[in-house]
Amino acid sequence: MSLLVVGLSHRSAPVSVLERASLNADAQVKLLQDTVAAEPATEAAVLATCNRIELYADVDKFHAGVAELSTLLAQHSGVGLEELTPYLYVHYEDRAVHHLFSVACGLDSMVVGEGQILGQIKDSLARAQELHTAGRLLNDLFQQALRVGKRAHSETGIDRAGQSLVTFGLEQLALGTAVESWARGKKALVIGAGSMSSLAAATLARSGVAEVVVANRTHARAERLAQILTEGDDTDVRARAVPMDSVPDELTRADVVVSCTGATGLVLTADAIAAGVESRTGEPPATAPAPEAEAVLPPAPVGAEEGCPLDLSAVQPGFSVMGEAAVAGMDAATLEQHAAWVAGGTVDRRETSRSGLEADAELIGALAAAASTVGRIPERRRPEPVAEPPRPEPVLFLLDLAMPRDIDAAVHRLAGVRLVDIESLAEASADAPMAADVDQVRRIVSDEVAAFGAAQRAAHITPTVVALRTMAADVVAGEIARLEGRLPGLDDKHRAEITQTVRRVVDKLLHAPTVRVKQLAAEPGGAGYADALRTLFDLDPETVASVSRAGESTEKNPENRGPA
């Protein structure tokens, strides 16, 4: 069996696709159940966040596994396979391990170094364990990923390279101002009471907002979050809980709104936001015009003008700053004739006495000068940018951390409103600086991947070694029983001494080969040593398989498993 991951993330797919492909809790459960029910897979785990959807599985066939996992992702996400396929990535074996470890360290996050992904990986493992879709491989993999992520954060300064998505989003809202200065005294509305919303509420409270209002469909959870904020030792913020139907009223009082719910539709429409702004300013917010498609001008009809020596109608269309597309490949004499025609004179190309290179340089220069002055060479010109009137200062700041989005994207065009959502965060994070510690984290990931691979390969041969030693013990027992039949008068002392001697001989003979085969099996490509051992000692495959099953049974039983 082999590890395979198929998925898509903010690095491979646009936000619009991620938004449509998002999986709610029920869809994730059904996806896991269908994956382990499929033929190529025996284990499965789903890592679904606002920035990624990944399906991990232990498969026995690579190509069949990729096809099956891709199809299942398409079915459960609701995005057709043909549309989804261009955005999918596939990692296999060590590359799959490397990918998850990088994700756990925050190297693959939208904001490099953020630590929230560790909690999401932990939740994914817990879900797979609860549904019994995680076996030995995925249990080992995800638990090790959590350890690697914690090691990266404790041994390096990766935390300095980035921050949580919440903090990064608030920084984008603050427009370069320190978040503490920007937030001080503001009233905040947090919609949702999950882990991301709770983090947003706590961050706003620590940043100095005057009040945090929590709205959630389950009012008890909103009350619980408000109570935690009120009782916190590091803030003195006022906090209260309201039902979801009070959100329109709260919009008339809030300065900052953070929304992160699991809703499949919009929580805040553009009309609701506009009404909230109007109630604050006394007039409806203006709406900026939607950006129009860039106009494309046709080429100037130079080739059709009377007397022009060039037929430019066959020139391939395309944007050309100085008409390079039109003159590319033309000989110097033709260019000379065209330049003379543009200048209003005539030139007999046969009477030129200058060298070809000299003429080329001068004529092309003359043609370019003429073209830039009178526009005789066909060009595709971009339209002049239209100056937009300055937008008024925002009176309402919106941070949408949900996937799919909670807040209508049309809000971007409302004057007096600033919206930061997953899409704008992705654009902003592309230029975010990375700390030097990132290189150290990458080295940690590489080392941990190698160690994990060696451990897995060594574990693969363990059942074979156990089966070999079991067979040797059976042989010793059989020979001792035969000896007792031939020497019935053998006393207990001598029988014990003979038995111990035979066992020592067998152990010494097996010690070096079994130790060495474990070392060799831990190296890349070492899986074949288990097969060689089974062949050389004629081990029963069913005996080896029974040892493996016993180990998996122990691994799945929480009472027999040590701490993670």
Pairing of strands 396-400, 256-259: parallel
Could you list the residues known to form a binding site for substrate, using ranges. Answer: 49-52, 109, 114-116, 120
Could you list the residues known to form a binding site, using ranges. Answer: 49-52, 109, 114-116, 120, 192-197
Catalytic-labelled residue, pool 50, 105, 260, 308: 50
Provide mean pLDDT across the span 420-439: 74
Could you list the residues known to form a binding site for NADP(+), using ranges. Answer: 192-197
pLDDT tens-place string over residues 127-157? 999 999 999 899 999 999 999 999 999 998 8
433, with CB counted inside 10 A (0-12, 13-18, 19+), is: exposed
DSSP symbols for 160-209:
HH---HHHHHHHHHHTTS-HHHHHTT-EEEEE--SHHHHHHHHHHHHHT-
Pairing of strands 396-400, 417-420: parallel
Residue 521's pLDDT band (cuts 50, 70, 90): low
pLDDT of the residue at 128: 96
Structure tokens at 347: 């030139």
Question: Does the pLDDT at position 58 exceed 70?
Answer: yes
The better pLDDT of the pair 110, 275 is held by 275
Q: Average pLDDT, whole number, for the chain?
A: 79
Domains (range + CATH), the chain? 2-161 (3.30.460.30), 165-288+391-420 (3.40.50.720), 455-510+519-554 (no CATH)
Question: Does the pLDDT at position 242 exceed 70?
Answer: yes
pLDDT of the residue at 357: 52
pLDDT of the residue at 247: 94
Amino acid at 396: L
Neighbours of 300 (CB within 10 A): 17
Structure tokens at 380: 């595709």
Cα–Cα distance, 409 to 294 (Å, whole number): 21
pLDDT of the residue at 377: 47
Pairing of strands 187-191, 89-92: unpaired
pLDDT of the residue at 30: 96
The better pLDDT of the pair 476, 552 is held by 476
The answer to whether 105 is a known catalytic residue is no
Hey, which residues does 89 pair with through a beta bridge? 7
pLDDT of the residue at 45: 97
Q: How far is CA 43 from CA 46, 109, 212, 345, in A?
A: 11, 25, 43, 82
